[in-house]
Amino acid sequence: MAKNKIIIVDDDDFMRDSLMEVLDRPGHVVRGFARASRALEELADGSAALLLTDMRMPEMDGMELLREARRLDPKLPVVMMTAFATVETAVQAMKEGAFDYVMKPFKAEEIDVAVERALRHRRLLTENEFLRDELAKKFRIGDFVGKSGAMKKVFEEIRQAAPSSATVFIRGESGVGKELAARSIHAQSPRRDKPLVKVNCAALSAGVLESELFGHERGAFTGADKRRIGRFEMADGGTLFLDEVSEMDLALQGKLLRVLQEKEFERVGSSETLSVDVRILASSNRDLEKSIEGGAFREDLYYRLNVISVELPPLRERREDVPDLARHFLARYRAEEGSRVREISDDALALLERYNWPGNVRELANVMERLVVLGRDERIGAEQVENALPKTARTAAKTSPGAASPARFEPTWLEDVERGHILATLLHFGGARAKSAEALGISERSLRDRIKRWQEAGKFPEV
């Protein structure tokens, strides 16, 4: 494990040696210097984890050393030490970027606490930087697998939209990758170092969604036993992704419109107005123009959301991308599961390409995961793919896409029709079982029992 290099600068030999002795422990490498210029030479390579410096020193004082050290390494935490502390010097040191300020004389425990806090801060900065880099890699455009003309158009739209602060409306059926598009836009935007916060508007009731978005004060309603910070506050400086925004209640749409226009809001149960700087990305699998005509969606909000529009095509309209996507998911799940499966046959890929994919990329990913996890051989063949597809799709997958002729008709089990309709309904509502059950005209418990029975038989995907 890498050790924390700690640099101590103090022209008082006794104080410097005492500090070095206190901090000399496993996991630390301590270097002490009487002059700031020597310390800067040690700091030049950027390997230091922490700088402790006295404020008053000959040649170069602590404040000047602080500035030079931060110039060399902006993330370096600096703890200032002085016997001549005043409010003014403390404030100035913090403005210059000091992490902490310790007054002499101090106890060994005090310096221990300051050092551990500073080192923890350094570790968090390093970890966050790593995670941001990994996120940028994971959600770069290149992870949007596709070489079709339709996807090349999407890639270009995302590249153009990402650098701006404009609101982006992402259209497409369930399962086409709207959340991945939102993550790609955020990862390439100037806000990529700030949070990307997601809200699934279809999964929450109007009252719960309002609290999720704007937060609430303690006592605002029954069960509100403490203050809650909303998603807008969490996303301040970053991006808020409103998934399936078309499912939002009309009254709440008005409040969202105000935030977009004024960039301010109040928590539920509060009169205090809060200001935020948030970029909005929104998505829907519905035709919002029709929702506007039917009075279910506000036209003025639609125009606020639809500044830039990105439309993701369904998988059936970019069949040439299916083989590449299948190989992509095979490689991912093979690595995750440690599976022996290594490849997929051309015949199997041809079957996948001919299937209509009502659940789009999400459904393809589910099928490939099942094939990889259950695969007993190194190669996935056509027979395995046939068994993994819904029974109603197998006949169609064996033939070229197009209108079925009477000669090709085969009777279909009623349960297969029911299962396919329930899957399509769940995908439409983003997996929300309560909404799906209501739309299907059955109880949520009945829906849950059907799904459980089919999943235990390996006939229904995870949604």
Going by pLDDT thresholds of 50, 70 and 90, the confidence category of residue 227 is: confident
Instruction: Point out the least confidently predicted range of 87-101, 147-161, 181-195.
Output: 87-101
Residue 142's pLDDT is 47
Distance CA 122, CA 78 (A): 10
Strands, DSSP E only, in 235-332? Answer: 239-243, 264-266, 273-275, 279-284, 308-311
Q: Are residues 295 and 160 in the same domain?
A: yes
pLDDT digits (tens, 9 = 90+) for 41-55: 888 888 899 999 998
Kindly state the average pLDDT of the residues 94-108.
Answer: 84
Last residue of a domain, one of 134, 168, 191: 134
Instruction: Point out the least confidently predicted range of 21-35, 83-97, 286-300, 310-324.
Output: 83-97
Q: Are residues 378 and 442 in the same domain?
A: no
Distance CA 156, CA 112 (A): 52
pLDDT digits (tens, 9 = 90+) for 126-147: 766 665 555 444 444 545 788 8
Distance CA 208, CA 153 (A): 37
Q: Are residues 162 and 226 in the same domain?
A: yes
Q: Are 248 and 196 in contact (CB under 8 A)?
A: no
Checking if the pLDDT of 256 tops 70, the result is: yes
Query: 85 or 40: which carries more pLDDT confidence?
Result: 40
Q: Are residues 152 and 239 in the same domain?
A: yes
Going by pLDDT thresholds of 50, 70 and 90, the confidence category of residue 260 is: very high
> What's the CATH code of the domain at 339?
1.10.8.60
Q: Are residues 390 and 435 in the same domain?
A: no
Does the pTM surpass 0.75? The reply is no
Residue 133's pLDDT is 57
Q: Are 185 and 307 in contact (CB under 8 A)?
A: no
Q: Are residues 40 and 52 in the same domain?
A: yes
Q: Are residues 307 and 166 in the same domain?
A: yes
> What's the CATH code of the domain at 124?
3.40.50.2300
pLDDT digits (tens, 9 = 90+) for 392-450: 555 555 554 443 333 344 444 566 677 878 887 887 777 888 888 877 778 788 888 88
Q: Are residues 157 and 303 in the same domain?
A: yes
Distance CA 170, CA 172 (A): 7
Q: Are residues 303 and 440 in the same domain?
A: no
Residue 226's pLDDT is 85
Q: Are residues 210 and 76 in the same domain?
A: no
Q: Are residues 189 and 300 in the same domain?
A: yes
Kindly state the average pLDDT of the residues 189-193.
Answer: 93
Residue 167's pLDDT is 96
Q: Are residues 147 and 284 in the same domain?
A: yes
Checking if the pLDDT of 243 tops 60, the result is: yes
Residue 250's pLDDT is 93
Distance CA 392, CA 399 (A): 13
Provide the residue range defining the domain that includes 180.
143-313
